Amino acid sequence: MTIFINNVLGLVVLTLACLFKLSITSLVPKPGNYGVSHKSEWPELLFKPKFEAVLAIQDPFAGSDPTQYSVFIQSPFEADVRVAPKYADDKDVWIYTTAGIDGIVYEIPKRGEWHPNRIDPGWTNLVGVEYKMAIQIIKQDMPGVLVEYKPTDSLPPNNIRINRVILYINPDGNVDRTPKVG
């Protein structure tokens, strides 16, 4: 019975390979290509659901071996868990998402890049910094983000955008509140 099942399974794989014009060898990762993917960032996963991003990064048919590195999902957390893991490695991949089980990737997943989630707590280190310098730092951290700046007494926007950061500027031209994605 086991031999019959294996033969049927082999025929199914062969049929699928023919249908999709794949060779059997392309279905099995080659020893020279298997290992940690040489890719360092995944811009195509921006604004995708977090679980779709994890599956794409850990896809062994794309040449990656998920046993050789970790994929960390960094969602907005409480203040006491905003520290980098001690066992992190520069091969590890960080995915920054919005809150919730169906969180969306709002920052390009990258290797070896850890920082607190930019939705919460945001860029706490920029409070008191001159606003032009803060804009440069934010744009360097998150290429392509829209940075808006407003006076401190301005009302927050009534909509949330995961590609926007708002700077609240005091009369001296310095950042007054912690900038956050949203």
Instruction: Identify the CA nearest to 126 among candidates 146, 147, 144, 107.
Output: 147
* Helices (H) then strands (E): counts for the chain: 4, 6
The CATH code of the domain at 31-120 is 3.30.10.10
The ranges of the chain with pLDDT < 70 are: 1-38, 60-67, 77-88, 113, 115-116
Q: What is the pLDDT of residue 126?
A: 93
**Token duo for residue 16:** 């699928």
To the question of domain 124-181 being in CATH 3.30.10.10, the answer is yes
Beta bridge partners of 49: 104
Same-fold call for 31-120 versus 124-181? yes
Give the helix ranges, DSSP H, for 116-162: 131-141
Cα 155 to Cα 150: distance, rounded to the nearest angstrom = 9
Q: What is the pLDDT of residue 140?
A: 86
Determine how many CB atoms are found less than 10 A away from the CB of residue 113: 17
What 3-state class would DSSP assign to 165? strand
Amino acid at 164: R
Taking only the tens place, the pLDDT of each residue in 16-28 is 444 444 433 333 4
CB-CB contact of 162 with 98 (8 Å): yes
Write down the domain spans for the chain: 1-28, 31-120, 124-181
What values do phi and psi take at 159, rounded to 5? Answer: -130, 155
